[in-house]
Structure 1
Amino acid sequence: MNQLEIHNLAKFYGTKKVLKDISFTVRDGEFVSILGPSGSGKSTLFQMIGGITKPSSGTIYLNGKNINGKRGHISYTPQSASLLPWRTVLENVVLGQEIAGKKDLEKARKMIKRAGLEGFEEAYPHELSGGMKQRVSFIRSMMSPQSLILLDEPFSALDEFTRLDMQQWLLSIWEEHKKSILFVTHNIEEALFLSDRIIVFSSSPTTIKQEFSLPFPRPRDRKILLTDEFLHWKRKIYQSLSGDESEQLSK
């Protein structure tokens, strides 16, 4: 089973404690979002999961294996698309597979078409809009052989309409392939619309304040954004983030 397990993770930079006793899981095919204030260590957590830096204490398991300090086990989509400017759309999409030693150009072309980018296979990143670049970046993650995808605020630079379209598109692709996703965002509505669960981080030194399992069925439709139940959950998450425990809703 493809599962990420974080056990009692902590990170220090000198005497400054950034993360404190972080424990959670992302199950096979699950979409989990992390919400927290700026500076709460979300990017540091991603760096540790990706093996860029090691935790000061605690353990990260992926599919039962300790991956502390080990790279190449996850696929990562950053806030900026980070496409290689000298490679075409098709060449960027298959980069992860190419590194792993096996390319599936037919599948890549199908994914590009599914993303509404048919005809842009030989285009270069500078010829694409911001939304198009993010689609290419996400397809690259879906095409990579790793079972876990980390998404670090991939839509934050997009306008509201493009962002809504990208959220709907991301879900449609994810529901076909069901890779496990850990998603960082500052946007409560985005987290509610996309996720199976939401993990709320405290301010630094960061701990997990609360974890919420969401009741919304899949596939998701943007009409839920206007329902009373959605607004109820939005207030609930907001109150958790704001730290006003006295006003927490009971359900």
Structure 2
Amino acid sequence: MSFLKLTNISKSFGENMVLQDMNMAIKEGEFVSILGPSGSGKSTLFHLIGGILLPDKGEVYVNKQQITGQKGYISYMPQAPSLFPWRTVIENVILAQELKGQKDKQKGIEMLKKAGLAPFINAFPDELSGGMKQRVSFIRALLSSESLLCLDEPFGALDEFTRLEMQKWLLSIWEEHKRTILFITHNIDEALFLSDRILIFSQRPANIIKEVKVPFSRPRDPELWFHPDFLRLKKEIYYLLQNQEGNL
């Protein structure tokens, strides 16, 4: 049964058609990544799911409820951590709850401790490293009441080793809470390492040209990156994306 469902979604900006007749179905608790050429409408898709933009046609459903153009049904994490510099770490973490008239500071503190951020609970964002800021931003998203998390290249600005640590941390948190995640990335290794399925977008106007079911069992270990089946899938996806980029 689909938790997130998109039916015949199209979106254009003036004469520029970005998404055309897109259909998508995500199961509850599933981790699905999106790969595609730059500018293929991946972030636009998130804005449509989140109600920031209205589609020209088509409908968005979450848990069988039609939410097209409505806000408040997803938790969104952009590439930049987007932390308020004048608020402490714990104050940033509980911000979404405050906006809904709720405040569970203790739960936020417990999650920060699990994330290895106990010494920084009352620190300000400029005292944190890039990886720490991303952990704070993700915990803030996780503490929201929405069951669908849309993560837009959250690790794109991190160095390789910090990125790997964040990927492992994200998987550990996801396996504990099993929230439904839709994850945008340009990194094939990252998509294969994290996901249950990968959806590959075409160039504009974007549509899904291939679905890759990731065959590896969980929990996952970084040694998986050197497995022959991992490398075979990586090569297959690479050439498919290269072909799309070449057609731009």
TM-score above 0.5: yes
State the AA in 2 paired with 1:98: E
State the AA in 2 paired with 1:50: G
Conserved? CA contact 1:209–1:240, under 8 Å: no
Gaps of 5+ in 2: none
Give the Cα–Cα distance (whole angstroms) in 2 for the partners of residues 91 and 135 of structure 1. 14
State the AA in 2 paired with 1:26: I
Gaps of 5+ in 1: 245-251
Give the Cα–Cα distance (whole angstroms) in 1 for the partners of residues 151 and 135 of structure 2. 12
- In the alignment, is residue 145 of structure 1 matched against residue 145 of structure 2? yes
Q: CA deviation at 1:239?
A: 2.4
- In the alignment, is residue 205 of structure 1 matched against residue 222 of structure 2? no
TM-score (norm 1): 0.95
Give the Cα–Cα distance (whole angstroms) in 1 for the partners of residues 207 and 106 of structure 2. 44
> Where does 1:55-66 land on structure 2 (aligned, <5 Å)?
55-66=55-66
TM-score (norm 2): 0.96
State the AA in 2 paired with 1:11: K
Give the Cα–Cα distance (whole angstroms) in 2 for the partners of residues 220 and 75 of structure 1. 25
> Where does 1:180-191 land on structure 2 (aligned, <5 Å)?
180-191=180-191
Query: Counterpart in 2 of 1:85?
Result: 85
Query: Counterpart in 2 of 1:238?
Result: 238
State the AA in 1 paired with 2:12: F
Number of positions where the alignment pairs a residue of Structure 1 with one of Structure 2: 244
Query: Counterpart in 1 of 2:6?
Result: 6
State the AA in 1 paired with 2:191: A
> Where does 1:71-220 land on structure 2 (aligned, <5 Å)?
71-220=71-220
Q: CA deviation at 1:15?
A: 1.7
Conserved? CA contact 2:2–2:25, under 8 Å: no
Q: CA deviation at 1:236?
A: 1.6
Q: How big is the alpha-carbon RMSD for the aligned residues of Structure 1 and Structure 2?
A: 1.2
SS across alignment from 1:119: helix
Give the Cα–Cα distance (whole angstroms) in 2 for the partners of residues 169 and 157 of structure 1. 17
SS across alignment from 1:172: helix
Identity %: 58
